[in-house]
Amino acid sequence: MAKLSLSGVSKAYGATLALRRGDLDIEAGEVHVLLGSNGSGKSTLCKIVAGSVRPDKGEVLIDGRPVTISGPQAARALGIGIFYQELSLSEHRSVAENICLADLPGKSGIFVDRAALEARASRYIALFAGVAGEGFSAEALVGNLRADQRQLVEIMKALSSEAPVIIFDEPTSALDRAQVDRFFEILRQLKTEGRGIIFISHRMDEITAIGDRATVIRDGETIRTLKLSETDPAEMIRLMVGENSDLPSAEHELPAAGPSAGAPLLSVRNLSGKGFRDVSFDVLPGEILGFGGLHGQGQSAVLRALFGASSISGGSLELSGRSLAVANPRSAIRSGLAYVSGDRGRDGVIQGRPIVENAAPIHYLKERLLLARPSALRDKVLPALGALHTKFASLAHPIGSLSGGNQQKIVIARWLIERPEVLLLDDPTKGIDLAAKADLFNLIRQLAAEGMAILLYSSEDAELLGNANRILVFNGGAVTRELTGADRTRYNLYQAAYEAA
């Protein structure tokens, strides 16, 4: 009998169906992977189980008995724990308080039992001893932690539910290899204890490493559940994307070495700043320079500093042979730089505003416009959106009505109206679906072919290997290795990333 079983679960937000028909069976002692591109309904399904989203229809059974999950509190009581993709942490509370927040140990009903709280939290903190990184402690405020450390807190919080069923919605996106390995050890332990685990990840290697079975969800519908031992990545991707979609080839062929001679468009010499030091490189026009390495080794920090979003403490920059000073993004944009962040919710999307307003701000700035004439804007924006195959109903629709991938396309399109000379891409495909990724990289290669210099940081090695003409591997805030030509292999990338890490 399944530990947790969902059948025919659906959820609509207004006119958009987030989940059409979700079916799922979780057995005791298995890691069950949910597969699906972004916006396919995985997170909605998870949140319905966890009680934070109210389903419109459908049935949930726990140990064979039908239950009504009236909210997150009820879900916990029914034995369901969850790791939220967007995290559910209180920044100003300590790690220990966060871990125990859902069920604060009490004294005589109303007081917090501090000793019990510390003791309980330390059990879960100990699970990640040695890999949690500097500054991680029970007393540390969550707001002071790095992204990966926060994710660890959320994992500990989910584990502390000690629930028979635990959902992990993209728990590894910010974790480094060692942290992931430790996490997987814990998951294996949970399996032996007979818990049912739901696991979501966009990294195929993780899925195959830890999953037992997988359920594929496409366009809000459960397509199929299969045993991971009886399938391969190619089949899974085919199921996720659908039969008649264009498949981006699983194995990228190595791009050409790119332009090798000529004057560099952007020269960076001994650049230092918060999170990186002594970084030097040249980018030629038409070149895609990849930034690789474990996450958080300074790649983003360099890109943001180049864009003027964080301060530079030393070093020099030259653009087309002229010295370049970036005080803030505004001046960087004026000098011909562009920056696209993977964290589009924070850095890119102006939520609640029409698509056209989301696509126009760079145009406003570069043309020093005062008036925003709808017809003139339309003529500027439409071609840029077309270049990315963006799907939208009308320019006046709010950007929130689009899927994540299409939102990111709008954000990128704002840089295509007046073309920049250097494009800084900071993990631009984070959390967007495969089709959108393919569109994006096609565009990036085309832009490079037209002479733009592109700096690409990606947390997915395949994207780097498949697109970059050259790869700089970052480690501890510095460039430790440069991979060119035939050296650009997954092996070399891993090896350089883990050197002395």
The interface with other proteins within residues 270-299 (CB under 8 A) comprises 274-276, 295-299
Convert residues 426-465 into a mask of x (bound to other proteins by CB under 8 A) and - (unbound).
----------------------------------------
User: Which of 147, 178, 254, 462 is the binder for other proteins (CB under 8 A)?
Assistant: 147
In angstroms, give the least distance from the CB of 136 to other proteins: 7
CB 5 within 8 A of CB 25: yes
In angstroms, give the least distance from the CB of 352 to other proteins: 5
User: Which of 223, 247, 365, 443 is the binder for other proteins (CB under 8 A)?
Assistant: 365
Q: Does 101 bind other proteins (CB under 8 A)?
A: yes
CA–CA distance from 442 to each of 297, 359, 496 (Å)? 27, 20, 27
**Residue 492: CB atoms within 10 Å:** 17
422 DSSP β-pair partners:
337, 453
Place of tokens 């002229």: 322
User: Which of 284, 301, 312, 465 is the binder for other proteins (CB under 8 A)?
Assistant: 301
Q: Does 42 bind other proteins (CB under 8 A)?
A: no
The alpha carbon torsion through 351, 352, 355, 361 (nearest 10 deg) reads: -60
Length of the chain: 501
Place of tokens 């005080």: 327
Convert residues 390-429 into a mask of x (bound to other proteins by CB under 8 A) and - (unbound).
------------------------x---------------
Hey, is 471 helix, strand or coil?
Answer: strand
Footprint of other proteins on 49-88 (CB under 8 A)? 50-54, 56-57, 71-73, 75-76, 82, 84, 87-88
Question: Is residue 116 within a helix (H) or strand (E), and if so which, with residue range?
Answer: helix 114-127
Amino acid at 126: A
Cβ-based nearer residue to other proteins, 88 or 201: 88
Name the DSSP class of 107.
E
Stretch that binds other proteins, among 29-37, 119-127, 180-188, 365-373 (CB under 8 A): 365-373
Rounded to 5°, the CA angle 85-86-89 comes to 115
Q: Does 369 bind other proteins (CB under 8 A)?
A: yes
Q: Does 13 bind other proteins (CB under 8 A)?
A: yes
In angstroms, give the least distance from the CB of 330 to other proteins: 5
Classify the C-alpha dihedral 477-479-481-482 as positive or negative. positive
Cβ-based nearer residue to other proteins, 123 or 353: 353
